Structure 1
């Protein structure tokens, strides 16, 4: 899923980017309102997180622009704490409103709730329990390993999108992993044996995808 985060605090941007990328999001960063609008025009976004007070164009202005163009979810961040401010944020079309300072884990949960990324995701006869970190085929726990579960979670966040072996290595094994890309093939083969061959599609020379028809 594509996520745009706009904030003029560089440190905040990089912290949030790390949290959301770990959960499988593709993250775009903007340092001001104009850059946020430009990125929104050029990339399909599933969620936009905007700081209220930004250079060039405020989060409120950017939110109104985004809502005029479609139904993309928008979450506003602000240090403002008055009831009138919250009312103004929601009146601009924002779907949610989070006051600074905040715990990035709470923001992540609020974002997932907006996107309806529930604790349990059902794909055919496979159920992925994101809270318990378990995968079930029918009623049976397939006893997925940690890496198998992380692979499945990343596929869920990018359902229908082709993911290269390098992307899977970077997001599941980490950017500092220097092993062979065939490690991905081995883990996907084992995951398929547990959840069924049809869930994960192979795209020769490109990578893998979770079947978006399921």
Structure 2
């Protein structure tokens, strides 16, 4: 098989590394593995990866701390593996900058398809991507800028911002945003996950001079403020 993507898989359980690697290979990935956060970080700095599959529970430094470290320098899609299914645990992953998560035990096919979808979205060709203009904010499928300055967003955050921008100042429902971000229309903690992810988008926009750009619409969802009305 000719591999199209390179993934970094981080887990301290050898059996789990084998399962994840096999699942990814069925979807056209080649995988490099690490058993702890520091080894993974050294590998990440030395190569260009298309995806990181990261276990939350690691020896010494946690997977969440490694995810935050990766987010400081890269927009590579990060898929978390977690044995905890609670909403707060998923929210913690989003706060760390993860794009998606899979709960253990999982079906290898599900993991492979989620991984492929993350990489496909992150690699969408700019030439096929309409740029949505909202005043100083320009949002395409692969990047967002404010007054020409790049806004640092994960692929998940960019999908949410693009959906809001496409509404041209009109409210976007919770369901619509959940579908845009995670391909789910509801579920335990869904609205809290959305709130957390959009909080990160707000912070990124604020750092580029757009404070209060995203507003909650009570009982409906969220809206992107029209230019001049932030």
TM-score normalised to the size of structure 1? 0.53
Partner of 2:32: 28
From 110, 116, 126, the equivalent of 2:114 is 110
- 2:58 counterpart residue number: 54
CA distance in 1, matches of 2:60, 2:49: 21
CA distance in 2, matches of 1:56, 1:37: 13
How far apart in 2 are the matches of 1:96 and 1:20?
15
Q: How far did residue 43 of structure 1 move? A: 0.9
CA contact (8 A) 2:9 2:31 kept: yes
Q: Which blocks of at least 5 consecutive residues in structure 2 are unaligned? A: 122-230
Superposed CA RMSD in Å reads 1.8
Q: Does 1:89 align with 2:93?
A: yes
The question of whether the paired residues in 1 share the 8 Å contact of 2:27 and 2:113 is answered with: no
The count of aligned residue pairs is 119
Q: Cα deviation per residue 1:62-112 (whole Å; 9 max; x = unaligned)?
A: 100111011111011111121111111111100001111101110001111
CA–CA distance in structure 1, aligned partners of residues 11 and 100 of structure 2: 16
For 2:88 and 2:26, locate their aligned partners in 1 and report how far apart those are by CA, in whole Å: 35
Partners in 1 of 2:43 and 2:60 — Cα distance?
A: 15
In the TM superposition, residue 21 of structure 1 has moved relative to its aligned partner by 2.2
Question: 2:44 & 2:95 partners in 1: Cα distance?
Answer: 21
Q: Secondary structure at the match of 1:85?
A: helix
Q: Contact 2:52/2:78 (CA < 8 Å) preserved in 1?
A: yes
Which deviations, in whole Å up to 9, do the C-alpha atoms of 1:135-156 show, x marking residues without a partner?
xxxxxxxxxxxxxxxxxxxxxx
Give 1:1-214 correspondences, 5 Å limit. Answer: 1-116=5-120
Q: Structure 1 stretches of 5 or more lacking a match?
A: 118-214
The 1:113–1:23 alpha-carbon spacing in structure 2 relative to 1, beyond 3 Å, is closer
Q: Which has the larger radius of gyration?
A: 1
Q: TM-score normalized by structure 2?
A: 0.49
Following the alignment from structure 1 to structure 2, what is the Cα–Cα distance between the partners of residues 39 and 56?
17
